[in-house]
């Protein structure tokens, strides 16, 4: 009799515990649905970085005085199974928000997209600075990954074996990212676009002669930096192709500038005399890596140069260039477009 009573008492106790737990869970869900844990008069941006935990997010919001009842949010996250499911991004907190609404947003990834434009001809350093300025990761981490051989190997570039950096492989375009996305995600997205838009053109070879796809990319980056006038790109390409065939130095100012770590915007004779891997006044052939990230038109120009015999060009001061087949004509053009122009400026 006592055994039966004890067994019944145990069953009742378990039932009571289950009932209490159900009531507690129901109460927590009810509080999570109807009790405001965030109340703001103006929109507040919350940035969740890749790898942040729910506890970290709750702690930071509480520290900033933006979140009431942090324990409720954390507990509800555990009960809902959302603790490890939050997504990186920038979220706008506005008005009265319940715990359930808050968790729904950061778990489903209803974050705000940020538009970022990478111009043609930007170097990795310039891209890194622009991303950091727009709160899209760390410039230092971006550059570190762009030179990490193990990370580069995971990108399956399928161009040449083992480039030392991703210079040239970041495709210039407008992208939309979530704030908080990892630097690796940003790089993968931009390199994926490069492969989609430019890889096939590089592999065709065109009229580029013995140049490998990677060497074509190096040349395309120089073309990109030498002119902003679209119609000139095949002509600039022809000059460099002709020089390479004749074993002449490329003598390109942009390559020299790329090799100067502290360049202040003023190229000097001392820079042209310095023997660096990128000083094409001193070295023969192409520099070891691209000097920028070229657009598709510059890549096409590197693959298919104009059928001309030009060996020289000089800036006319209006964004275009004068092209010459021989050094004598080139010197006359330098005098006309450079020396005389500078003299007129001094007089005025």
pLDDT at residue number 39: 86
| Domain locations in the chain as residue ranges | 32-108, 113-197, 202-310
* pLDDT of 96 above 50: yes
Going by pLDDT thresholds of 50, 70 and 90, the confidence category of residue 348 is low
| Strand, helix or coil for residue 143 | helix
Q: Judge contact between 131 and 189, C-beta under 8 A.
A: no
Rounded to the nearest integer, the mean pLDDT of the chain is 86
Amino acid 18: pLDDT: 44
What pLDDT, on the 0 to 100 scale, is given for residue 101?
84
What is the per-residue pLDDT across 162-189, written as a single tens digit (0 to 9) for each?
688 999 999 999 999 888 889 999 999 9
pLDDT at 13: 45
Q: Is 306:233 a contact under the CB 8 Å cutoff?
A: no
Count helices and strands in the chain by DSSP H and E runs:
16, 6
Q: How far is CA 163 from CA 160, 174, 196, 284, 290, in A?
A: 7, 25, 19, 20, 10
Which of 3.30.1490.480, 3.40.228.10, 1.20.1260.10, 3.30.450.20 is the CATH number of 32-108? 3.30.1490.480
Long-range contacts of 133-141 (CB under 8 A, 24+ apart): 135/47, 135/90, 135/179, 136/177, 136/179, 136/181, 136/186, 137/181, 137/182, 137/183, 137/186, 138/183, 141/183
Question: Which residues neighbour 199 within 8 Å (Cβ) at sequence distance 6 or greater?
Answer: 158, 159
Point out which residues pair with 115 in neighbouring strands. Answer: 176
113-197 shares the fold of 32-108: yes
247 half-sphere exposure, CB direction, 13 A CA radius: 0
pLDDT above 90: residue 204: no
| Dist CA 17 CA 24 (whole Å) | 10
pLDDT value, residue 14: 46
Look at residue 8 and tell me whether its pLDDT is greater than 70: no
Segment 83-109 mean pLDDT: 84
Beta bridge partners of 44: 93
Q: Where does 113-197 sit in CATH, by number?
A: 3.30.1490
Q: Give the pLDDT band of residue 24 (cuts 50, 70, 90).
A: very low
pLDDT at residue 12 is higher than 70: no
Mean pLDDT value across residues 145-155 = 94
pLDDT at 341: 75
CA 301 remoteness from chain centre = 24
pTM of the model: 0.78
DSSP letter assigned to residue 284 = S
pLDDT of 253 strictly over 50 = yes
């Amino acid at each position: 009799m006592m055994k039966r009573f004890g067994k019944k008492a145990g069953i009742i106790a378990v039932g009571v515990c289950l009932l209490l737990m159900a009531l507690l869970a129901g109460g927590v869900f009810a509080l999570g649905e109807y009790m405001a844990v965030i109340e703001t008069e103006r929109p507040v941006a919350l940035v969740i970085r890749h790898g942040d935990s729910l506890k970290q997010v709750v702690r930071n919001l509480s520290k900033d005085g933006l979140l009431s009842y942090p324990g409720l949010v954390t507990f509800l996250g555990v009960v809902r199974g959302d603790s490890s499911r939050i997504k990186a991004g920038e979220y706008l907190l506005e008005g009265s928000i319940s715990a359930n609404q808050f968790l729904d947003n950061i778990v489903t990834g209803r974050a705000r997209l940020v538009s970022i434009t990478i111009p043609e001809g930007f170097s990795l350093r310039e891209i890194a600075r622009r991303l950091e300025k727009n709160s899209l990761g760390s410039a230092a981490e971006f550059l570190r990954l762009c030179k990490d051989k193990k990370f580069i190997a995971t990108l399956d570039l399928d161009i040449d074996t083992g480039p030392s950096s991703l210079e040239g492989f970041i495709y210039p375009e407008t992208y939309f990212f979530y704030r908080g996305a990892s630097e690796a995600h940003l790089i993968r997205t931009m390199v994926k676009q490069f492969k989609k838009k430019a890889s096939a053109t590089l592999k065709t070879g065109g009229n580029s002669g013995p140049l490998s796809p990677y060497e074509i990319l190096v040349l395309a980056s120089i073309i990109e930096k030498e002119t902003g006038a679209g119609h000139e790109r095949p002509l600039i390409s022809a000059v460099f192709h002709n020089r390479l065939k004749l074993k002449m130095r490329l003598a390109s100012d942009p390559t020299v500038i790329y090799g100067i770590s502290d360049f202040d915007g003023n190229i000097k004779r001392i820079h042209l005399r310095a023997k660096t891997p990128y000083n094409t006044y001193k070295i023969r052939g192409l520099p070891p890596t691209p000097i920028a990230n070229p657009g598709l038109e510059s890549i096409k120009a590197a693959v298919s140069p104009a059928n001309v015999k030009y060996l020289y060009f000089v800036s006319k001061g209006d964004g275009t260039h004068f092209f010459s087949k021989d050094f004598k004509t080139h010197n006359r053009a330098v005098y006309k477009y450079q020396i005389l122009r500078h003299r007129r400026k001094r007089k005025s």
